[in-house]
Structure 1
Amino acid sequence: MVGPARIATRRTRVPVYAFRAEPGVPQVWVMRFDEAALTEVGAHAHEFPGIAYFEAGGGALRLGDRRERIGAGCGYLIRPGEVIAAEDAAALAGAGGWGLYFTPEVLGATDLADGGPADRRLRWRIHPLLRAFADDGPSGFVVPREDRRLWAGYLGTIEREMHERPAGYQYSVPAVLVLLLVAVSRLRAAAATPGRSDSLVDAVLDVIEQRYRGPYSLVDVAGELSFSPGHLTTEMRERTGRTVQEWITERRLIDARRLLAETDLPVAEIGRRCGYEDPGYFARVFRKVHGVPPRDWRADAG
């Protein structure tokens, strides 16, 4: 991948690209797919999510084991770790392609960037704008004709803001990125087929997302989804490597870490806001997961 200095690579079977963080600079980058860039980069993958969008038709793209013929208004999610390659770089360059790349930190989802790729993808299921990059559904979507000029405008704005870095670009770039990701989410929702893919994990995580701040447990989740607690535990462990209760704890502690780092709220109040009425129990759960009590974690984070 050709790009600014903040893009670094490490060599595996194919190059895998990672953002090199630049203090105070949003980890967002837009590139145009010209023939030189497409020829030079070859097959590669990213540690971060991205979107490829084409204003016109021409050429084809390899995404994992799929070959996608490019049409006008076609867009594709580029999921972390997925190998991407151009077929017929000259034809693809004529399709007016854009590449948009970013990290979860830009969306304020710092905690969701932690962990290995498999763990990260499961965590992303709880974020409405990252969920599309975590599932195994189709990666393609088509932007309606009446919205294509708007999409080109969004991408051009991010490109210009990141290149020129005018006053306030740290705020404008994430804002435009959110507009694009909301548009992707709406397009995919409109095109979704009911019952497609593994809906159980999504259903469990949706319920947890809605209820984790209260006194909620495996029994409550199972009852809401009409499963026995034992069966639901087995299914979730087989599909995700974690139990329902572990996912509840994970979601609560994501919020707890955010509140510890970003607010001056008392630890007991943070525990209550995250579903732990007993401050002592909150401290024990936090220490079991992180190795230190909440107060010490807050001091280190500060």
Structure 2
Amino acid sequence: MRSTTVPPGTPCLAPRAGEPPLHRLETAGPHAPPFAAGSFDEVGPLSRADRPHRHTFYEIVHITAGSATHVVDLARWPVRPAQLVVILPGQIHCWEDQRGLDGTLALFTEDFLVDHPEDLRLLRRLAGACGLDLSAEDDLRTGRLMAELAAEHRQRTAGYETVLRALLHVLVVRTARLTAPGSGPGPVPDPRRAPAPGEPVPGRTPAPAKAPASGAVAVPGEASALAEAFARLTARPETAAWSVRECAERLGVTAGHLTQAVRAATGRSPGRLLIEARVYRAQRLLAHTDLPVRQVAARVGITDPAYFCRFFRRETGSSPGDWRKHHSRHHQSIEAPGTRA
């Protein structure tokens, strides 16, 4: 996202009609690292925002007191001590029903992970949990790391940026271990939650992952990195109508090379993942805005509303109107005035 950091006190970017506000990371100056950490109060009032919004940055939240309902994209999750929450850039989220909510936050842009780019994959996995319950021992260990991050950011003594990067890397890696198979039960799925791109649609049998064709790029190396870059690209709203070829050109590879890499890493084609990303964006707009269906269709790159309705029903088993009826929360609407047709 453009202009991911701003000086303190800069107003939020005004959204397009029907889009949520976009919060950017405030930094002390042009040469300050794109990182911030502290309690909810130290980070500022926007850290507890109860209206849907997006970030240009990653956010890790260690809940230490109180409770709330975390609304993230199309899901609603109860939060309480001791939990860790990860929010990705571009996700629509807010905190509802807050009762003494408190904890420590770490905010940072993708640029801050330059020393450990593999942490991006781990953060995406952690964000998929929507809230990770911590044991007493893990809660204590996480609290110490978060406190050290906040102290280093607050004191800014010699070499603090290097220490911040190292501490953040340790936090991400140790937390990711908790979500590995056999590490314990994860969060209970919410049946009202819409599947994110790449998740099976409820009521459908997911297609089995296909083995990569002979000569495909190996998963551990270039393929996984290219697939991650493709996933980040398709999450951006402006790519809603892009083709596989256009995505490949943006990533500096051929369409065939991209297809091999994505299929090797995910078992599916980039075309299939583009469709899932388009459906997911449409679901978010239907649930979080009052935009007419024709405008939702246009936002995801489909100019014919009738075709959009057929496309949406084919992919979800529901019409756009029925989906909105069962998932919309009108008191949370982020529609800007004057956007109704």
- Does TM, normalized by the shorter one, top 0.5? yes
Q: Structure 1 pair 137/182, CA: closer, same or farther in 2 (3 Å)? A: same
From 62, 82, 89, the counterpart of 2:91: 82
1:101 maps to 107
From 265, 270, 279, the counterpart of 1:236: 270
**Hey, what's the Cα distance between the residues in 2 that align with 1:7 and 1:176?**
28
2:71 maps to 62
2:45 maps to 37
What's the secondary structure of 1:162's corresponding residue?
A: helix
1:14 maps to 20
**Hey, what's the Cα distance between the residues in 2 that align with 1:108 and 1:16?**
23
Aligned residues: 207
2:189 maps to none
Q: Structure 1 pair 69/6, CA: closer, same or farther in 2 (3 Å)? A: same
1:73 maps to 82
**Hey, what's the Cα distance between the residues in 2 that align with 1:206 and 1:156?**
42
**Hey, what's the Cα distance between the residues in 1 that align with 2:100 and 2:134?**
18
1:123 maps to none
TM-score under structure 1 length normalisation: 0.55
Q: Does 2:153 correspond to 1:147?
A: no
TM-score under structure 2 length normalisation: 0.49
2:55 maps to 46
Deviation at 1:146, TM superposition (A): 0.6
> Which residue identity is paired with 1:184?
T
From 207, 210, 221, the counterpart of 1:210: 221
1:25 maps to 32
What CA RMSD, in Å, does the superposition of the two structures yield over aligned residues? Answer: 4.2
Q: Structure 1 pair 18/160, CA: closer, same or farther in 2 (3 Å)? A: same
Deviation at 1:55, TM superposition (A): 1.9
CA deviations over 1:5-29 (Å, ceiling 9, x no partner) = 1876212133211235634422111
CA deviations over 1:114-160 (Å, ceiling 9, x no partner) = xxxxxxxxxxxxx4311144468332212221121221221121112
Sequence identity percentage: 21
What's the secondary structure of 1:88's corresponding residue?
A: strand
From 157, 161, 164, the counterpart of 1:166: 157
Q: Structure 2: which 5+ residue stretches go unaligned?
A: 1-5, 187-197, 201-207, 226-255, 276-341
Name the structure where helix makes up a greater proportion of residues. 1
CA deviations over 1:232-284 (Å, ceiling 9, x no partner) = 7x82333248xxxxxxxxxxxxxxxxxxxxxxxxxxxxxxxxxxxxxxxxxxx
1:177 maps to 168
What's the secondary structure of 2:67's corresponding residue?
A: coil
Q: Structure 1 pair 56/173, CA: closer, same or farther in 2 (3 Å)? A: same
Question: Does the aligned pair in 1 maintain the 2:48–2:94 contact within 8 Å?
Answer: no
**Hey, what's the Cα distance between the residues in 2 that align with 1:191 and 1:47?**
32
Q: Structure 1: which 5+ residue stretches go unaligned?
A: 111-126, 242-302
Q: Structure 1 pair 200/29, CA: closer, same or farther in 2 (3 Å)? A: farther
> Which residue identity is paired with 1:5?
P
What's the secondary structure of 1:97's corresponding residue?
A: strand
> Which residue identity is paired with 1:42?
D
> Which residue identity is paired with 1:130?
L
> Which residue identity is paired with 1:146?
E
Question: Does the aligned pair in 2 maintain the 1:7–1:17 contact within 8 Å?
Answer: no
Question: Does the aligned pair in 1 maintain the 2:84–2:134 contact within 8 Å?
Answer: yes
Deviation at 1:172, TM superposition (A): 0.7
What's the secondary structure of 2:128's corresponding residue?
A: coil
> Which residue identity is paired with 2:35?
V
**Hey, what's the Cα distance between the residues in 2 that align with 1:206 and 1:24?**
39
Q: Structure 1 pair 53/9, CA: closer, same or farther in 2 (3 Å)? A: same
Q: Structure 1 pair 168/70, CA: closer, same or farther in 2 (3 Å)? A: same
**Hey, what's the Cα distance between the residues in 2 that align with 1:57 and 1:102?**
24
Q: Structure 1 pair 54/153, CA: closer, same or farther in 2 (3 Å)? A: same
Q: Structure 1 pair 207/200, CA: closer, same or farther in 2 (3 Å)? A: farther
